[in-house]
Amino acid sequence: MRVLIIADMEGVSGIETYEATVRTHPAYAGGVQLMAAEVNALAEAAFEAGAVSVSVIDWHGGGGNLRPDLLHPRIAVVPEDLGRGYDVAILSGFHAMAGAENAFLSHTMTSGLALTLEGRPAGELALLSRWAGEHEIPIGLVTGDRATSLEAETWLDQTPTLTVKQAVTWDRATALPVEQAHRALREMVARVLGRPDRWWVYRPTRPVEALVRLQRATELAARIPGVSLEDGSLRVRLPSVKALIDLIDVFTALMRSEEQRELLEAIAADPAAGLILERERARRRGQLRRAGPWPSR
């Protein structure tokens, strides 16, 4: 049994603040410890249940959050490639989609993006479960905050979930004590891996039809071949979910570039650049407060 863990950070047990998930913040060091501890708990339970290998994709912010020195020595951190042969996948430490209610750090892939897939609102759980489905990999378990579990009931209705925290506000949560959460995670992994007959493969409908709403750079994005503009949303039709994930990464880059271009224009308009720093700070604070699709995955 080859187990794959796709590990995000927002829904990791014990992480209760936005800051603990942000690389540049001092609180991130604590988040890194908690993320590694959770992946270790899952992996140890998987090995006890008979896994011959446990591979981990570090999904948060493009990777680099899982420090090898903190991980169980038999865990392999692997690239974002599902074609390497896995029997079952666990989605751990996840968050709900952009716009979800009572959700901790809800967003879809990046700040300022909302997605509709197969005609209904979708987030990363939908994308990852269907991407796994393209490779015939079933999803055995989903963990995260309460809103993640609720979302899993709509997009992964055959898969058990484990809730380890509850949002207080968009950027604050109350989590189960870490020991208790890890105990629950281990028990759940033992139960799930012992019942392969209940693993479920979520195959996407093809071609993949999606609507993407961007906070900025919409016009630029609409110029990409295969993307069309429709009532302010971008309509895309693609051969695979992986192609959609890759396209969303391009949209993210376009949004970043437009943001940077606006900043450059502001500096050009004010050579003394006196207010730039203050304005950037205010913008970032504003992003934090909004209950919407904000920080990056």
Residues of this chain that bind Zn ion (CB under 5 A) = 8-10, 60, 297
* 146-155 vs 124-134: helix crossing angle, rounded to 10: 50
User: How far apart are alpha carbons 103 and 121 in whole angstroms?
Assistant: 15
For the CB of residue 62, give the shortest distance to Zn ion in the complex, in Å. Answer: 10
Taking the least distance from each CB to Zn ion, the nearer of 182 and 297 is 297
Other Cβ atoms less than 10 A from the Cβ of 262: the count is 11
Least separation in angstroms between residue 257's CB and Zn ion is 22
Q: Which position's Cβ is nearest Zn ion?
A: 60
Q: How far is CA 143 from CA 14, 94, 151, 235, 281, in A?
A: 13, 6, 11, 30, 33
In the complex, least distance from residue 208 CB atom to Zn ion, rounded to whole angstroms: 22
Min separation Cβ 160 and Zn ion, Å:
21
Residue 63 or 196: the one with the smaller Cβ distance to Zn ion is: 63
User: What whole-number distance in Å separates Cα of residue 89 and Cα of residue 3?
Assistant: 6
For the bound state, the minimum distance from the C-beta of residue 271 to Zn ion, rounded and expressed in Å, comes to: 38
Long-range contacts at 242-245 (CB < 8 A, ≥ 24 apart)? 242/82, 242/131, 242/134, 243/208, 244/117, 244/127, 244/208, 244/210, 245/109, 245/127, 245/131
Based on CB atoms, which residue is closest to Zn ion, 142 or 227?
A: 142
**Token couple for 129:** 């479960």
Contacts of 256 (CB under 8 A, 6+ apart): none
Q: Minimum Å distance from CB 258 to Zn ion? A: 22
Nearer Cβ to Zn ion, position 20 or 75?
20
CA angle 134, 116, 232 (to 5 degrees): 135
Nearer to Zn ion, 27 or 266 (CB): 27
Q: CB-wise, 8 or 258, nearer to Zn ion?
A: 8
